[in-house]
Amino acid sequence: MKQMIFFETEPDIQSIIQPDVQDAAKKTLEMLLSILNLDFIRKDIEFTSIYKEILYASDGMLKYWYRTGNYDVTAFEQEYLEMINHWEIVYGKGMENDRKQL
């Protein structure tokens, strides 16, 4: 897996946490690949790319909410579900009912 860039914008913090982020991202990706049915993913897209985008967006979203002090869990859940729906539409294959099985 290519290097995963953590969403952190502070260079000092990023350099400290980058090795741990790399390790956790790699282990999680390996676990996902071992259990994921790739038949639900379009063949023209590598799952690693999807995973990196999801991880980066999730991390950025969490970091933004934390730094702004906005801890509205209900709003966060709704925004995250919208993001997941977007990924299913973009990266999923088949009919809408097929995506709901993911």
Please give the span between the terminal C-alpha atoms of the chain, in angstroms, as a whole number: 24
pLDDT of residue 6: 59
Low-confidence ranges of the chain (pLDDT < 50): 1, 97-99, 101-102
pLDDT of residue 5: 56
Q: Quick one: how far is CA 5 from the chain centroid?
A: 12
pLDDT of residue 16: 83
pLDDT of residue 35: 92
Q: Contact, 21 vs 4, CB < 8 A?
A: yes
pLDDT of residue 96: 52
pLDDT of residue 94: 57
Write down how long the chain is. Answer: 102
Strand partners, 92: 41
pLDDT of residue 34: 92
